[in-house]
Amino acid sequence: MSTDTTERRNAVPSDEGIAKGPAGATVTEREARAVAEAARETKWERPSFVRELFLGNLRMDLITPFPRGTAEDERRGLAFMAKLRETLDAIDVHEIDRTGKVPQEAIDKLAGIGAFGIKIPEEYGGLGLSQLWYGRAIALISTSCSALGVLLSAHQSIGVPQPLKVFGTPEQKKKYLPRFAQGAISAFALTEDDVGSDPARMGATAEPTEDGSAYILNGEKLWCTNGPIADVMVVMARTPAREGKRPGITAFIVEADWEGVETTHRCQFMGLNGIENGLITFRNVRVPKENVIWGEGKGLKLALTTLNTGRLTIPMTCAAAGRWCLRVVREWAAVRTQWGAPIGKHDAVAQMIADIAAKTLAMEAVAEMSSAMADAGDYDIRLEAAIAKLWNSEIAWQVADLTMQVRGGRGYETAASLEARGEPAIPVEQVMRDLRINRIFEGSSEIMRLFIAREAVDPHLQKAGKFVDVEAPLAERAKDAVGLGAHMATWFGGNVAGWSRWPRHSDYGRLADHVRFAERRARRLARTLAIAMGRYGPKLEKKQSVLFRLVDVGAELFAIAATCSYAVSLAERNGKAGGPDGPLALADLFCRGARRRVDELFERVFDNDDDANYKAAQVALDGGFAWLEHGIVEPPSPNREA
């Protein structure tokens, strides 16, 4: 898994809009944007609930009834989960956190039950399970040991098996997929020391040989999860223009034992003790042309497509973490007595427990729905995957923080220390350490918001023409502004129209009013996005805080819709529709809070302190507040030339 952050580090454009590029070249902000745009999937051939949401359409028909797999898929999934639980019980997971290493014995045990080929088709020796059951399996593993979850997820979600399944040739699949199903480990190498969220600046190169039979790969990849122990990895590198082909980023299958491939550093992190993540160098590595995946110049689009489903394990593991936290606080708050009563009877703690329970249900709904949509195959889930990853990773961190607070000092104390003095080894502090990375890797929360915002405004951008192009002549921008205005006038009329009150959505029972609320706010979300375009024009892309609030509105509305659909489905299945301990009651509680968050976000879209904050940040960057940094031992400077 890539641990990219939102910072472009040295890639942030200077006042002239120029950034250092590969091999000492320069990359303008416009060029960087062009590379990202070229990798976007611009067509929408299948429906997307989230895309419709940002257009003002709450398409509950796309998610109700709640999508589910087949009975056979469930039978096979449950059988594997039983084997997986038994295997995890035989692994000393606390030792992995203490030593920072996953023993080979644990890897062999997991390989023995097929855990390295959960999604690999049966014809290649894999288990052939669905995305939903794969996600549930990784989530179960992660509640036992996050390092094991990351090992298997990085291998199957974004490692070689996933792009091969989608884009590989029959020969590539036949050669590699059986190896992975048997336990060979794969990795994904994209991020570089100076290249995170800005792929236009990639420095790794792959030059074709004179006879055209191979490529010579040179470069360095950072934060390559599984890299230090991988048998095979998919490596992204820049290929030159030749024979009518444009230069671009290409994906290669690289064997770790080839000459010139070396792990030069194993990284250590705040959490996830035991993951193998490192700095990998490639020096004149000869890669046969048969090891190109999909084709020259298609690597970045391949990476983005792979991440659409690859990200789905994160919301699943976040939901599982919520369930784990709920069990911990429920049991602790019932037995820990203070001031003559269990702490769960005190209002302050009770409020936290309720929040954990309600948000856990919503995380589960979002995760299960996104994975089920991926399995269905008739949805475009690029936005669902992004918003599920964004929302669940943010909410899981809140839930972990509340759990730490309920557990108090015992939450902050390590499991090993608790065990040594005779208490149950409940690793709340480890859960916090392990969860924090979810808001960063496989697309940080900020990058997810930018991606979602870009797709949300795309229908209007297509009508805007040169109006939103800051480098277009003023006359052309003015001309297209007229066309955009005509489009908006027509579109606004359709957006405002529509009935979102009783009796609409009555089939959701006690949750119907929440669905009606989501429908009204979806229309308001679309209108507000359109207003923001008209208000800021080409400068909208710089108003990230404005866009982020609108994306967060969309995320909350998605969570409301998913939770209502999921709760109705659960109620039908378990018969607890009307009781206070049923899913409808808990969904109702979640939706109440989400509705308040939505309206608060709307209030701050245009009424905020963004400009003042930005100016203050620039003063801070220029050293204007250095007087505030007194009385500290100075940290090392990030400027390597200093």
Q: Is 48 helix (H, G, I), strand (E, B) or coil?
A: coil
Query: Burial of 364 by CB count in 10 Å (0-12 exposed, 13-18 middle, 19+ buried)?
Result: buried
What tokens were used for 61? 């028909």
Residue from 29, 442, 455, 556 carrying the catalytic annotation: 442
Tally Cβ neighbours within 10 Å of residue 339: 7
In this structure, the strands spanning 277-288 and 292-293 are unpaired
d(CA 214, CA 224): 24
Give CA 637 to chain center in angstroms. 30
Q: Is the peptide bond before 208 cis (omega within 30 degrees of 0)?
A: no
What tokens were used for 79? 């059988």
Contact between 273 and 93 (Cβ < 8 Å): no
d(CA 359, CA 402): 11
Over its C-alpha atoms, the chain yields an Rg (Å, rounded) of 25
HEC readout, 90-121: CCCHHHHHHHCECCHHHHHHHHHCCHHHCCCC
Question: Which residue matches tokens 């929408």?
Answer: 44
d(CA 514, CA 19): 47
Residue 186 host element (H or E): strand 186-189
Based on the residue annotation, tell me whether 442 is a catalytic residue of this protein. Answer: yes
What tokens were used for 331? 């049991």
Active-site annotation, residues? 442
